[in-house]
Amino acid sequence: MPPGPSRESERKLVEAILRGDTALQDKYKDFPEDAVTEVEEEAEYEDDRVVMDVEQAPKLPTTINLFQHPDAHPFVLDLALLRKYGPEWMQWEPDTLELRILTDFRTNSLSDLNMDKLQTLKVMHMVDLFWKNWEVFSPCAQALTGIPPDFSVIQAVTVPQAMIAVDIANRVRGDVQWGLEVKTYLSCVQLHDGMFCPIPPLDFVEVDPEGYDINCEDIRKRWEEVRATRNAPSPTTVENEQLRRMLEAWALLEENRTQLQDQLPLLYNA
């Protein structure tokens, strides 16, 4: 029985996809996920995409500038490519993908940030590691929430970022279960932000409030009313502070969902 993939080989696979390094991806593409082997040589990467001078993008994405606008929703970009090319686009090199987008969507440029989003979506379509490995979840979550992933440092994920990334992931694929490692990682994210009562779509995460004066059962009884009124409770108490933080995170998630709904009509006008 062949050995399973090492964490380093998994990381290299995802990083190769995110960076668009097809030479490194070729070392993996003929193997199922449970048979990926270690790559011995370290690859050096250089972003050689053409930088084009373009006018400052309007405040909101339009049919013309969807692929260059920094606020383009990842799921809308994914749907646009699937509608135009089907799953074939996931096999293209970044240069080929960029050329096709510039030609077929009649846009001036494809921004580096949106390329990061597309490469992240490719990772999510091709492998399950986003749901299993925290080292994959973290940079992918950054890209999905509009922050260029940096592979030289560990970028902290906030609770609102995690909620948005999980919400997008649930739309992209519904056939993958969340692994214990990512669940544990998301629990740490909750604790780091001082939030002890996860709300959807992070309600699959468990946080241990031991040592803290927190009663999540009581907090959740009040949550629906707080969410409906969108009013942070006062005065400042431990319970009210939890509800305030939950409301702030929920508002950012709702803003992202509104962004998605506002941009979906662009697919039919393209």
58 prior amide bond cis, ω within 30: no
Summary mean pLDDT of the chain: 84
- pLDDT tier for residue 22 given thresholds of 50, 70 and 90: low
pLDDT in tens, 108-132: 899 999 999 999 999 999 999 999 9
Task: Look at residue 154 in the predicted model and tell me its pLDDT.
Answer: 84
- The predicted model gives 54-75 an average pLDDT of 77
pLDDT above 90 covers what percent of the chain? 65
Q: Is pLDDT above 70 for 250?
A: yes
Comparison of pLDDT for 240 and 17, the residue scoring more: 240
Task: Look at residue 153 in the predicted model and tell me its pLDDT.
Answer: 82
10 Å CB burial of residue 157 (0-12, 13-18, 19+) is buried
- HEC letters along 161-196: HHHHHHHHHHHHCCCCCCCHHHHHHHHHHHHHCCCC
- pLDDT tier for residue 141 given thresholds of 50, 70 and 90: very high
Q: Is pLDDT above 80 for 25?
A: no
CB neighbourhood size of 40 (10 A): 6
Q: Which residue has the tokens 């592979």?
A: 151
- pLDDT tier for residue 270 given thresholds of 50, 70 and 90: low
Task: Look at residue 243 in the predicted model and tell me its pLDDT.
Answer: 97
Least confident of 60-74, 107-121, 255-269: 60-74
- pLDDT tier for residue 106 given thresholds of 50, 70 and 90: confident
Q: What is the token pair recorded at 106? A: 């009649």
Task: Say what the pTM is.
Answer: 0.81
Taking the chain, what is the end-to-end CA distance rounded to the nearest angstrom?
50
Which residues, other chains included, contact 118 with Cβ-Cβ below 8 Å and sequence gap of 6+? 74, 77, 78, 81, 97
